[in-house]
Amino acid sequence: MATIAAKSPAIRSRTAADSRRSYRGPLTLAGIILMLGLAIPATWLRLDRSARSSANTATSAVAVPARSPTLAPWAEHFEVISLKRELVRAGYSVEVDGNLDPVTKSALADYLQLDSAHPLSPSLASALDGTVITGLRNPGAWNSHYGLGRATKFVERPLTGPGGQLDANGNLRAP
């Protein structure tokens, strides 16, 4: 003879509630990590939009002041990626990766327009220490000189490195 045991509805509902509770901890942690990851690009976009609305047409070269970095290295990596994506959306031809190389510094120098109401973040200011911010916002001219798809000449100097067109800070070197 076979015996069949049935679960009561109270036992079934208790096990379903326990399984829902077991997912709450990891889901809450994933939500917190997602929100922190989106906070950096959202802050950058908000600052950039407000800078665009209050930007004046006069351009001047401004040297970036040196500041100490405050973000963790992994956060700086994500900040560089969001900066590069912003540059690509603005029309600059740069490779979107986590490296802040001299070519990217040069693109940022052309793109950024600084004023007292919209300063740089401390980590970006320390990374751009020594870079001259021109704020020209001319991606076409910049791409023709330094972009990924530029037409190169046979005798052109390399962009970076010893004897390159750009120094380590992304500034144009004299020939």
Distance CA 106, CA 146 (A): 9
DSSP 127-141: HTTT-EE-----HHH
Nearest to 144 by CA among 105, 91, 101: 91
Q: How many CB atoms lie within 10 A of CB 38?
A: 12
Residue 93: per-residue pLDDT? 94
Q: Is the predicted pLDDT of residue 104 greater than 60, yes or no?
A: yes
- Each residue of 18-41: pLDDT tens digit? 555 667 778 888 878 877 777 777
Give the pair of three-digit tokens for residue 168: 């380590």
Query: Tell me: the pLDDT tens digits for 115-171?
Result: 777 778 888 888 889 999 998 999 999 999 899 888 887 778 888 888 888 999 999
pTM score over 0.75: no
